[in-house]
Structure 1
Amino acid sequence: MVAPMGIRLSPLGAAVFCLLAVGVIYHLYAGVISNRYAAFRGRTSVDLRDLLAVSVEAAVLGGKEVKAVRDENHLEEKSKGKTREGASEPLTKGDLQSHVKMYNLLKSSFPGVTVNSEEHDNLEDEVTWSRQIPDDILAKVEGGKLVPANRVTVWIDPLDATQEYTENLLKYVTTMVCVAVDGKPMIGVIHQPFTGFTAWGFVGQGSNMQRRSSYSTNPPNVIVSRSHPGQVESYVRSAFGNGTTVILAGGAGYKVLSLLDMPSSTSGDMDKGDAYIHITFIKKWDICAGAALLNAIGGEMTTLRGGRIDYSASPLNTGGLVASIGVDHRALVDRLPEWDPERH
């Protein structure tokens, strides 16, 4: 008998065979590896106290950029277009430089979380968290509040009240960060670059802010937008009467702060509102931080009909809003006339 001859492969054939084998193994296991990696990323958790500290640091860092650009008076203003109501939406160098600092700090510190910013400049900047937690946060917030990163959405507004910023009405200007968990605002930071004051709140944990000693609802002082008013003044007076004081102001962050007890060293000529009402479309990076801050100290921000605003979905809030603290929020909502922002 003649023994069967072995199969011999040329060096080229052996290489092709190896590549085919690797390809088969890759296709067999790539899906498994991918699924396991996705599951691992889904399990990656963040400590919310750390995220609060980074949010404060980001808001302050962005505020320094905003102030520096304004101090140099080189705004490089241009228009992003017009709102649904026909108002111009300006964009400045301050918006963009603040965005780059804030966005990159948050993403470098917590790469697993979703970060939504009003601006979309993709420039990278090597900014890293100082790893410092401010004393007032350490005193009020416990560590170890772990949440899976895939349940967290961060909303940042690198420069709120850009229109007023271009007009040098600087008291209205803020930088803001909000952390939402499962769509619910949990952490809110509102920083005033031109006073240096930073307000923060963590729902269920604490805040460095508190409500004022008294509020009025008969009628209330209602604070509204000066740059996107729509028909809000007539709407407010139809709800609370012609004697209602309507305060025109810039910036959603400023309007929320006007409802609170501001430190005397920073309050200056700040307005004092009893309720904040907005009846046109508004973006969630404008309002999420204020919602979290109010919720942390017993206030509320809802749609005009009293519904919850989801901060994990589309950036656009189409239901209008009413914000209050220290009063019966439901009773306030019940006095508001029917209104459909999508039709006005």
Structure 2
Amino acid sequence: MESKETDAKFLKMNLGATVRLNKFGLALIGGMIFFIVVLYRNSGSSSQSNYEGRLTTVSLKRLLSGAIDAAERGGKIVYNVRVQATLNEQSKGKTKEGANDPVTDGDLKSHLAMFYALSKAFPGVEIISEEHDKSNVDASTVSPTETFNVEVERTIVDDESIPVEDIRVWIDPLDATQEYTENLRQYVTTMVCVAVKGYPTLGVIHKPFENFTAWGWAGKGVSPKLRVTKDQGGPKDDIAHIIVSRSHAGDVKDVALKAFGENTVVIPAGGAGFKTLAVIQGDADAYAHVTLIKKWDLCAGNAILNALGGKMTTLKGTDIDYGNRDEYKNQGGVLATLYQHDFYLPKLQVLQKS
């Protein structure tokens, strides 16, 4: 009799344990299913790597987030170097027009942070920078870029995975260095651009002294900070506002007055990033450049314009290709507009010098 009662108690205890175990097991299985679903939904957004750790495909959403982080990291360095007045300015020589081409610690330290942060986060992706490393550079303290950005996640619905060989990343660690040395801080930007098969697709322009970051993804969306409206298109009050480089404002002004009339407003400014943003934000109708300019100066602004339906071309009207690191010079002039590109182009083609 005692044996039967003991068996009954044992069975009851085990049944109770079994029920408790099943509840825990169900919760565990439910959590695992949820994790698998999330993993499956995000599988198209992940970058794939080979056995050496080099990427074979790249998530453009992750790369955009990384580009934003890199531009802002570089911007902090540029800001600190300028505020501390530790520029250590040197000259890289003369430009084609005979102007000084300076380089500072802001340029070089920003390059170090941006280049290696992106390289570590996206191994195998080709990155082209305006600056180059000095010998014996120690990049061990540079951490990979953050590849998640809340603003990007909220703005961009889907993602694309691109073969690594189709991607070129162009970075400008400090645009408007001449103005930087003159303490004209408003013109200074740090920029990152991602070209896919030569087409400027992702663009980031960061203004370190205003703590402002603009970004765009062609065909997907733009930074919510960019307030763009249709009523800013076209000459204001029938007067064309053309923004140009400070270094050759006089030449452009003469031609612009002939092209658009004596009331044309020519706005001299520094930095290609600043000038392109001026067009995007409605402070100018067109950005015109007539002399040689490097593609890392143009790519980010070009990508943001593409995302907004604007245009950046040479003065012959051809698109600028960003697919080859060896072809980093753009010698065909530049015209950038948000609206009415075909109105400005024929009138400004005379700016192109043979």
Same fold (TM over 0.5): yes
What residue in structure 1 maps to residue 322 of structure 2? 311
Flag structure 1 segments of 5+ consecutive residues without an equivalent.
1-36, 263-271
Deviations 1:172-199 (A, max 9, x none): 0000000000000000000011111100
Tell me by how many angstroms 1:260 deviates. Answer: 2.7
**Among 222, 228, 250, the residue aligned to 1:211:** 228
SS at match of 1:75: coil
Q: 1:124 to 1:297 in 2, by over 3 A?
A: farther
Aligned-pair identity in percent equals 47
**Is 1:254 the equivalent of 2:254?**
no
Q: Which moved more, 1:46-55 or 1:297-306?
A: 297-306
SS at match of 1:247: strand
Alpha-carbon RMSD: 2.2
Deviations 1:224-262 (A, max 9, x none): 000354722222223212221000000011111112338
Deviations 1:106-152 (A, max 9, x none): 11111211111000115242323354522220012245410001100
Deviations 1:194-216 (A, max 9, x none): 11110000001100124243233
**Among 100, 103, 117, the residue aligned to 2:115:** 103
SS at match of 1:335: helix
Deviations 1:136-170 (A, max 9, x none): 20012245410001100010000000011001100
Structure-2 separation of matches of 1:42 and 1:340:
43
**Is 1:322 the equivalent of 2:335?**
yes
Residues 101-140 of structure 1 correspond to what in structure 2 (within 5 A)? 101-121=113-133, 123-126=137-140, 127-129=142-144, 131-140=146-155
**Is 1:194 the equivalent of 2:194?**
no
8 Å Cα contact 1:189-1:200 kept in structure 2: yes
- TM-score, normalized by length of structure 2? 0.79
SS at match of 2:350: coil
Q: 1:60 to 1:214 in 2, by over 3 A?
A: same
Tell me by how many angstroms 1:293 deviates. Answer: 0.6
Flag structure 2 segments of 5+ consecutive residues without an equivalent.
1-48
The residue type paired with residue 118 of structure 1 is E
Instruction: Please identify which structure carries the higher helix content.
Output: 2
SS at match of 1:164: helix
8 Å Cα contact 1:59-1:190 kept in structure 2: yes
Q: 1:292 to 1:130 in 2, by over 3 A?
A: closer
Structure-2 separation of matches of 1:315 and 1:256:
19
Q: 1:303 to 1:210 in 2, by over 3 A?
A: farther
Q: 1:43 to 1:111 in 2, by over 3 A?
A: closer
What residue in structure 2 maps to residue 267 of structure 1? none
Q: 1:273 to 1:91 in 2, by over 3 A?
A: same
8 Å Cα contact 1:98-1:158 kept in structure 2: yes
**Is 1:280 the equivalent of 2:297?**
no
**Is 1:82 the equivalent of 2:94?**
yes
Residues 36-47 of structure 1 correspond to what in structure 2 (within 5 A)? 44-47=56-59
Structure-1 separation of matches of 2:319 and 2:104:
32
Residues 124-163 of structure 1 correspond to what in structure 2 (within 5 A)? 124-126=138-140, 127-129=142-144, 131-163=146-178
Residues 231-250 of structure 1 correspond to what in structure 2 (within 5 A)? 231-250=251-270
Deviations 1:84-125 (A, max 9, x none): 111111110100000000000111111211111000115242
What residue in structure 2 maps to residue 291 of structure 1? 302
**Is 1:221 the equivalent of 2:233?**
no
8 Å Cα contact 1:76-1:92 kept in structure 2: yes
SS at match of 2:247: coil
Q: 1:256 to 1:337 in 2, by over 3 A?
A: closer
The residue type paired with residue 298 of structure 1 is G
**Among 140, 165, 187, the residue aligned to 1:172:** 187
What residue in structure 2 maps to residue 333 of structure 1? 345
Structure-1 separation of matches of 2:259 and 2:59:
43
Q: Which moved more, 1:50-59 or 1:208-217?
A: 208-217
Tell me by how many angstroms 1:48 deviates. Answer: 0.3
Structure-2 separation of matches of 1:84 and 1:230:
17
Structure showing greater radius of gyration is 2
